[in-house]
Amino acid sequence: MIDLSPAGTFTLGDRTVRRMGYGAMQLAGPGAFGPPKNRARAVQVLREAVASGVNHIDTSDYYGPHVTNQVIREALHPYPSNLTLVTKVGGARGADGSWLPAQRPKQLIQAVHDNLRNLGVDTLDVVNLRLMGSGLGTSEGSLAERFETLAQLQREGLIRHLGVSNVTPTQVREAQTIAPVVCVQNLYNLARREDDALVDELAGQGIAYAPYFPLGGFSPLQSSTLSDVAARLDATPLQVALAWLLRRAPNVLLIPGTSSLAHLRENLAAVACVLSDDVMSELDGVGGSHS
């Protein structure tokens, strides 16, 4: 098995997790909709991830919908005491697989109960409020009513910790006036660096930052730069992109997803990819260096 210790750990509220985690979105069917193509393989991937030392799994009950959480329960329940399951609410799926907002208080409450039921737990470790912007983008506006709904469920004991997803820095700060925020999950990678300042701000506060789509948004030129570095390091471009994120800031938690055992092993092996300061500077040039 792969040793994940070189990537270190980080604290989510009262939970300590390894910085290399796993995202369960791809365990459902294509586009995270419908049943998996191979349910037995999905179960096998989850079990190998945990056996390899992964103790942070990112999920949502609207993957499937319901499918991914049910597969997680089949594969891992009763859960290891050190396993942290992070879920998100705020979305739903149309009959055609379309992604729909589900942001009203009643919808958020129902989503929390759906997660509890399908994961087979009495309390959710971490729940992220996922805001639904246009496409992958964030949208401005207050999240107070929505986050207060989750904070009330936290007070009732159904949620241990809260986070936010697809949010602006202003929205993060607004959420913090309502309840403690233990993590932020936004689009961020080597080429998409809009959150550079936010990553650093959260690091200073001891708040986790979980980037999604770690390879999304690359142009051919940027892919070429990444591939050149990977070739020199005898690594894959994906491993280098993940290694860059791990070095970018100590609060970055990785949640790459896959339904393939080979791809899982490739992702986890990224912890052994050591990037020198010179290589970091070269890669920083792909997306523009951070301040």
pLDDT in tens, 239-261: 999 999 999 999 999 999 999 99
- Residue tagged active-site, from 22, 63, 188, 209: 63
Residue 13 in domain: yes
Residue 254 in domain: yes
Residue 279 in domain: no
Q: How far is CA 83 from CA 15, 140, 207, 211, in A?
A: 9, 34, 19, 20
Give the model's pLDDT for residue 140: 85
The yes-or-no answer on residue 62 being catalytic is no
pTM of the model: 0.95
Q: For the segment 135-150, what is each residue's pLDDT rounded down to a tens digit?
A: 666 788 999 999 999 9
Structure tokens at 204: 């200073």
CATH number, domain containing residue 113: 3.20.20.100
* H helix runs in 104-192, sequence order: 105-119, 144-155, 169-176
Phi/psi-derived region of residue 186, left when phi > 0, alpha when psi is between -120 and 50, beta in every other case: beta
Q: For the segment 98-124, what is each residue's pLDDT rounded down to a tens digit?
A: 999 999 999 999 999 999 999 999 999
Name the nearest CA neighbour of 61 among 99, 3, 121, 113.
113
Residue 287 in domain: no
Quote the domain boundaries for residue 32: 9-217+250-258
Residue 265 in domain: no
Residue 240 in domain: no
Residue 237 in domain: no
Structure tokens at 259: 């339904």
Q: For the segment 146-203, what is each residue's pLDDT rounded down to a tens digit?
A: 999 999 999 999 999 999 999 999 999 999 999 999 999 999 999 889 999 999 999 9
The number of folded domains in the chain is 1
Q: Rounded to whole angstroms, how far apart are CA atoms 168 and 138? A: 7
Residue 286 in domain: no
